[in-house]
A = this chain, B = another copy of it.
Amino acid sequence: MKPENGENAENGEILTNGDSHIEGFGKNLLILKANDQIKELQTIIRDKTTTRSDFKFYADRLIRLVIEESLNQLPYSECSVVTPTGAIYDGLRYRSGNCGVSIVRSGEAMEQGLRECCRSIRIGKILIESDNETHEAKCIYARFPEDIAQRMVLLMYPIMSTGNTVVKAVEVLKDHGVAEDYIILSNLFCTPQAAHVVTQAFPNMKILTSEIHPHAPNHFGQRYFGTD
């Protein structure tokens, strides 16, 4: 369609592989269906003339859509329920034992969206910074649910340019006993470089994003929160 924009959808469905842009990223990198409404949200977020109020409103909409698709990756069980008229309805039920973890700071923009989908989900937090001298990513703060090793983890980070911060965050989660295939990364914008780094480091982690594009909107956190 518009390969120069990094769109990866041919025909309105979620692509998991076979598209030239995501070739090599493996089967676990999923791109949100690039329909008109999502493209509109991405356009508003990219546009430098968007007001902060509008930026936050439309970013929140895109966040909710990515979160919904991320939740769709969680394991579920078949179940039967009884309706008010006494009929049996064959449905699905998510397995309990999930939690969210946001990477400070921009990942925190996704916490509210997660709460609007999962009312009382536990949400942990992790803060990664680069060492001034060695430039190595270091974890300087982490708060997780006590039993995180038994939970599926929705890791939230909206913008991936290099992938270094996410790589460190996932390492910390694994150090806390979380299995790689128990982590789902919810992301809005991702560069091809970051996609390569993260999928090669953690081939068993699912990744949801709305766009792979050489230039990520790195002003996201600054616009969303209004701070440096």
Contact = CB atoms under 8 A, between A and B. Distances in A.
Given A12-B14, A53-B120, A129 B108 contact: no
A141 to B, nearest CB: 6
Contacts of A71: 37
Given A12-B13, A36-B76, A47 B227 contact: no
B99 A226 contact: yes
How would you classify the secondary structure of chain A's contact residues: helix, strand, loop or mixed? mixed
Interface in A5-21: 5, 11-14
Contacts of A87: 215
Interface residues of A, number: 76
A116 B65 CA distance: 12
| Copies of this chain, whole number | 4
Interface in A56-96: 56-57, 61, 64-65, 68-69, 71-72, 74, 76, 79, 81-85, 87, 89-94
A219 B144 contact: no
A105 B227 contact: no
Given A89-B5, A144-B228, A215-B87, A43 B81 contact: yes
Interface string A24-58: 00000000000111011011001111011110110
Interface of A: 2, 4-5, 11-14, 35-37, 39-40, 42-43, 46-49, 51-54, 56-57, 61, 64-65, 68-69, 71-72, 74, 76, 79, 81-85, 87, 89-94, 99, 104-105, 108, 112, 116-117, 119-125, 127, 129, 140-141, 143-146, 215, 217-219, 225-228
